[in-house]
Amino acid sequence: MSGIIKIFLIGLGLGSVGAAVVASYLPFVNLQREPSLISVQPNGGAVETFFINLPDDRIVDAASEAMQSGALLFLESLDHHNINAKAELFKVRNQNNKVIGIGSRLSSSNESTSQFVEWTVHFPARGTIYAKMHLNPGPDRLRSGQLVAGTRDFKGLSGSVTEEVFPHPSKKHTTAFQIHLKTVLTGPLGDSKSNM
């Protein structure tokens, strides 16, 4: 009888220790990663460009044909504020045309405090960049801006972000565009040597 109890107790120990080992080493979340396609500028800035194919990559109402249709308009009357803001959500791709993240673009042309255009681009395996853009694009349709904050891999970085829209040939859609989001990021803020 005592032999059976001993074997049971050994099994009990093995079971609980084994479960603890499995729980410690088994990855419950395993994020898929795509290679980061970064080039380095002579001045030290790391350049990376992200792509958004429209209308396919628009998350909400991806079936719409026209570039601006499908954007969410925030038309709700908020107390006495008269607002006209637009929220857009996109899938974001790398140079290999692989979806690697999600981007939200908020803009308002009728804001009482300040008009704005800004991006938040979230990469599950890397982190997030938060950038605010100049309101009016340049003559070559290039809208420039700057990184406000970054998280995880982008934490402490500073630099510029540009947004440019190009016509993009598509077999599926009569009208298609591609947004190029180009980031030029440098070392941690306050690190004067790496920013020079």
The least CB distance from residue 91 to another protein, in Å, is: 7
Does position 185 bind another protein by CB under 8 A? no
Residue closer to another protein by CB (options 129, 184) is 129
Q: Which of 36, 120, 144, 195 binds another protein (CB under 8 A)?
A: 120
Cα separation, 189 vs 184, whole angstroms = 14
Does position 48 bind another protein by CB under 8 A? no
Does position 108 bind another protein by CB under 8 A? yes
Query: Residue 70 contacts by C-beta under 8 Å, 6 or more apart in sequence?
Result: 55, 58, 60, 61, 62, 63, 64, 88
Nearest to residue 72, comparing CAs of 80, 84, 81?
A: 84
Q: Which of 52, 71, 157, 185 binds another protein (CB under 8 A)?
A: 71
Cβ–Cβ under 8 Å, residues 133 and 161: yes
Q: Which of 48, 56, 91, 142 binds another protein (CB under 8 A)?
A: 91
